[in-house]
Amino acid sequence: MTDDKTTHFGYQEVPVGEKQARVRAVFDSVATRYDIMNDLMSMGIHRLWKRRAIEMAGVRRGQQVLDLAAGTGDLAERFSEIVGPDGAVVMSDINEAMLSQGRARLVDAGRVGNLDYAIANAEALPFADNSFDCVTIGFGLRNVTHKQLALNEMFRVLRPGGRALILEFSHPTIDPLAKAYDLYSFTMLPLMGKLVTGDSDSYRYLAESIRMHPDQETLLSMLEQAGFERCSYQNLTAGVVAIHRGYKL
């Protein structure tokens, strides 16, 4: 059990003040090989998950989008295409190494003009109330120390009529799949991490962080607690991943 002085870092219980630095160290370690590992770990399926998340986000031309925990910018890149020159996308991450990788990739791809970059903590966003039409966070909420604070902040910076979308690993709904997924996560992921990035510990943490993340119904309740309405979720790959969505009405 954790209290207000401790929190989970994977399966470890650590002082609250240490988690952010530990998470930063994980992503500093894997930043340069992050995209390669995503393809290897998911056998490319992460691209389909992200495509579905973009569809569910419902972003339109001219809108303002905030992409939290943007990493190397998969979601932000597509959003920048959709909103066009009259819209804007803020690509934000607490980890400077990840954000730098993403910015370099998007600049190389010619994605300039409607993309801005911000190093920001999801628990205390440096943006005004009612600033964005859509706020997304893909595979990042599980690394946030105080998840409810992050959801509250997402609600605050959204405009009335806006929506939040959370793409995250979740809890498989089929028992045989859950067992196979556990075996894969705790054996193959650290091994691949060691072979590709030279870092097995970071990928062991990632596997543990998924298990410690709230399940689908719990996260749905947390969205409602933050003030969101019309909240729902969709399981992908039998609950290995879930997309949660809520509206600020």
Q: Give me the CATH number covering residue 46.
A: 3.40.50.150
Describe the crossing of helices 16-30 and 189-197 by its angle, rounded to 10 degrees.
60
Check residue 39 and give its pLDDT: 79
Residue 161 lies in a domain: yes
129 is in an annotated binding site: no
Over range 228-232, report the average pLDDT. 98
Of 39-43, 73-77, 126-130, 241-245, the one with minimum mean pLDDT is 39-43
171 against 36, higher pLDDT: 171
Average model confidence (pLDDT) across the chain: 92
Judge contact between 40 and 73, C-beta under 8 A.
no
Beta-bridge partner residues of 7: 14
Residue 194 lies in a domain: no
The enclosing H or E element of 188 equals none
235 is in an annotated binding site: no
124 is in an annotated binding site: no
Residue 3 lies in a domain: no
Check residue 93 and give its pLDDT: 95
Q: Which residues contact 228 (CB under 8 A, 6 or more apart)?
A: 151, 155, 164, 246, 247, 248
Domain of 207? 16-174+203-247
Residue 46 lies in a domain: yes
Report the C-alpha gap between 207 and 181 in whole angstroms: 10
Could you tell me the maximum CA-CA distance found in the chain, to the nearest angstrom?
Answer: 49
178 is in an annotated binding site: no
Name the domain count of the chain. 1
How many CB atoms within 10 Å of residue 128? 9
- pLDDT greater than 60 at residue 116: yes
Check residue 3 and give its pLDDT: 53
In the chain, helix, strand, coil percent, each to 5?
A: 50, 25, 25
